[in-house]
Amino acid sequence: MTTAHKAREEVTVDFDVYDPALAAPVDLFQDRAKELADKGPVVWSPKYDGHWIVTAYDEIHEVLRDAETFSSYPNNLVTSEAFGKFLPIELDPPEHAGYRKALQPLFGPARMKKLTDEIRGVVNDLVDGFAKKGSAEYVSEFAHELPARVFLALMDWPLSDAPLFTEASDIALLGKPGASEQESLEARAGAAMQMFGYFQKMVEDRRANPGDDITSTLIHTEVELEDGVRLLTDEELNRLFFLLLIAGLHTVQGSMAWMLKHFIANPDQRQEIIDDPEMIPNAVEEILRIDAQVIPGRRATRDTVLGGQEISAGDQLILLLCSANRDSSEFDDPANLDVTRSPNRHLSFGGGPHRCIGSHLARIELKVAMEVIHERIPDYRFVESDPPVFQASQVRGCLRMPIEFTPES
């Protein structure tokens, strides 16, 4: 995309990706993202010591593919160097390749497809818990529980341990509500250490008692890394598990919430998939497109030009995937839900060397959930007196979503 050069002052915006006002009382993030995109494909925010915000599809695609110019560390604006790096997402090629190669077969399409029946069982079990009541707090009773249970099943960890991850993962990702930046950083570190303690217990157990689960496979498989072919260390395993949990839990939870939000706002689109469930795979892609959860970060490794802006080595950037997915140069009528949209080259799973390794699993979870919900409680709606509560951060989502519907007989 050719863009005339503008001075940084001309594209400076007052924008904080973590500002709670973007998500309360209603989710205003997309409206604000559009304002930024209208100002330019690359704009500047003075928040967090200053950073670039990339809004346009072509420029975001360029950044995702160019790992030499745009390092993936740090991935977050708010981070603690003492905490270390998320593996492998905050390692650049070629360093990250060995870790990625170790994970790839575990999340390939064939293995994920075998999980479909198990996921369907989890979905139906969760819906059983509220279908006859005619109401539910959708996030805690379904959207959070589903990816948490699937993650535990995938790792072969006790299902009863799911509640341990709820508060800890929320704090590690979002910080402490109402706290200062320093207090939030300390709370994030504490929550992460709590989860690392759990992961270490699992490592020690599976090292002594291996099975055919992903945990055991990662522990006992030699990996080709820059320092040679070897087993992963405990610290490396813990960091891998941490990323798998955070990435798999909060992103799917967010997509589950957007699914209901957008189908409630578009009853005709909802009726199309009720009448013709064969459209559901296409509808999954459209839900993924219309509200991308993740806002990844990058750091410029050298001076460069992007979207008409002079980026200096060391500058931090964040990529508004949700804005790229509504770029009119790539999508027709981009702000509207269209379950028949094709092609649909959304960037919700990122791109380049760090493209989401769990994309196949996420699609299966969304597909099965969409099928079961629209078969069993298709007339769901928001509770007027108790509207949803959304969240703004570098992983957007929903904290609460009370719904009501005709009780299942």
- Rounded Cα gap, residues 222 and 230, in angstroms: 5
- Rounded Cα gap, residues 197 and 165, in angstroms: 12
Q: Say what the alpha-carbon torsion angle 382, 15, 75, 349 is, to the nearest 10 degrees.
A: 40
Q: CA nearest 296: which of 128, 70, 43, 143?
A: 70
- Rounded Cα gap, residues 338 and 336, in angstroms: 6
DSSP state of 356: -
* Per-residue pLDDT reduced to its tens digit, 14-29: 999 999 899 877 789 9
* Per-residue pLDDT reduced to its tens digit, 307-326: 999 999 999 999 999 999 99
- Rounded Cα gap, residues 400 and 386, in angstroms: 9
pTM score, whole prediction:
0.93
Q: Which domains does the chain have, with CATH numbers?
A: 8-404 (1.10.630.10)
Q: Taking residues 359-382, what's their average pLDDT?
A: 97
Provide the residue count of the chain. 409
Q: Give pLDDT, residue 80.
A: 61
Residue 245 scores a pLDDT above 70? yes
Q: CA nearest 378: which of 263, 255, 256?
A: 263
DSSP state of 319: E
* Per-residue pLDDT reduced to its tens digit, 156-198: 899 888 877 777 777 776 666 666 767 777 777 788 788 889 9
* Per-residue pLDDT reduced to its tens digit, 134-164: 999 999 999 999 998 998 888 889 988 887 7
